[in-house]
Amino acid sequence: MELGALVCTAKSPDCGVCPVSGQCAWRLAGKPAHDGPPRRGQTYAGTDRQVRGKLLAVLRDADEPVPQAALDAVWHEPVQRARALDGLVADGLVEPLENGLYRLPAA
């Protein structure tokens, strides 16, 4: 059961339908307000998601297959760039071709 996703959500907990409401420490403590630091959202800058987006943008803008060097130019960190490109290939979003060329899969 996905209790935290469906019943006991942070913004609107539904204690009336919760199967463990009787043992809930938060409810038994009087439903106190959160007193810890605010939850930080994930930053976008510098993430693999950003790199994947940059690689896909190059491929989307190209009229023909793109050489590896064009993809290398969009991100300075080679290990992260290679990981992002490998992930795109594994996900079927990028198609590697002969001679180090890449393209979006044919529709």
Give the pLDDT mean for 9-18. Answer: 85
Range of the domain at 60: 48-103
Confirm whether 27 is domain-assigned: no
pLDDT value at residue 42: 77
pLDDT value at residue 33: 87
**pLDDT one-digit tens code per residue, 87-97:** 999 999 999 99
For the chain, what is the domain count? 1
Structure tokens belonging to residue 40? 């930080």
Residue 72 · residue 29 · CB < 8 Å: no
Strand segments, DSSP code E, in 1-107 are 66-67, 95-96, 101-103
With cut-offs at 50, 70 and 90, classify the pLDDT of residue 1. low
Q: Is the pLDDT of residue 9 over 90?
A: no
Q: Buried b vs exposed e over 67-82: b needs ≥16 C-beta within 10 Å?
A: eeeebeeebeeeeebe
Residue 47 dihedral angles phi and psi, to the nearest 5°: -85, 160
Residue 7 · residue 18 · CB < 8 Å: yes
**pLDDT one-digit tens code per residue, 28-85:** 999 898 888 887 877 888 999 999 999 999 999 999 999 999 999 999 999 999 999 9
Taking the mean position of all CA atoms in its chain, how far away is CA 91?
13
Confirm whether 52 is domain-assigned: yes
CATH of the domain at 82: 1.10.10
